[in-house]
């Protein structure tokens, strides 16, 4: 298989049945009521190596009146596209190997197309297993405000925006009651 085709085909086979649509370049989107979940494949500027970015856009946060959020969006809103956000504009951004640190070396090897020590036949099951057993369940959990709030407690995933996003998530969860998962 040609270079990016192995990723596009393999990722599409796993993500499409889970409700993702490939809408922008090498990015798949899943539109949920509370969030938009993204899986993005990014080529390295330095060679034939690729990275997998996972991202979550929190729906409605751009309209929040919570002061730290509203000032953030007033400053950056011209760069943001909430209908189909770029992965690097989302509130949650993480590389996929962060979700499976014990498999980091294997995942990075699978994404290095210049490394011929791994054939496509060996590469595809590694990618598929990671997508179906780790990435899709993680993003499914991140599809609701309540699930997203539970993810924040994971130290591997914290970032600077969580302190700002937490009041919004708590406000949304309280408004909806405990009927959401």
pLDDT of 21-79, one tens digit each?
Answer: 998 789 999 999 999 999 999 988 888 889 999 998 888 876 666 655 555 555 554 45
Tell me which residue of 50, 47, 35, 40 sits closest to 172, measured CA to CA: 35
Identify the three-state secondary structure at position 118: coil
Tell me the range of 81-85, 93-97, 123-127, 162-166 where mean pLDDT is highest.
123-127
Is residue 55 within 8 A of residue 99, CB to CB? The reply is no
Identify the three-state secondary structure at position 29: strand
Backbone φ and ψ of 100, nearest 5°: -140, 70
For residue 104, what are the domain limits? 3-179
Q: How many domains does the chain have?
A: 1
15 burial type by CB count under 10 A (0-12 exposed, 13-18 middle, 19+ buried): buried
């Amino acid at each position: 298989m040609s270079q990016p085709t192995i990723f596009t085909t393999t990722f599409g086979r796993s993500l499409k049945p889970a409700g993702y649509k490939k809408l922008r370049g090498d990015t798949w989107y899943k539109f949920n009521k509370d969030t938009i979940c993204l899986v993005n494949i990014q080529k390295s500027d330095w060679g034939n190596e690729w990275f997998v970015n996972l991202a979550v856009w929190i729906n409605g946060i751009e309209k929040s009146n919570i002061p730290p959020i509203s000032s953030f969006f007033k400053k950056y809103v011209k760069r943001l596209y909430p209908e189909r956000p770029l992965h690097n504009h989302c509130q949650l951004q993480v590389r996929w190997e962060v979700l499976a640190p014990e498999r980091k070396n294997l995942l990075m090897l699978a994404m290095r197309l210049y490394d011929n020590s791994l054939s496509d036949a060996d590469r595809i099951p590694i990618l598929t297993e990671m997508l179906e057993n780790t990435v899709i369940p993680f993003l499914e959990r991140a599809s609701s405000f309540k699930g997203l709030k539970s993810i924040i407690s994971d130290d591997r995933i914290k970032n600077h925006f969580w302190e700002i996003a937490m009041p919004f998530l708590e406000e949304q969860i309280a408004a909806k009651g405990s009927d959401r998962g």
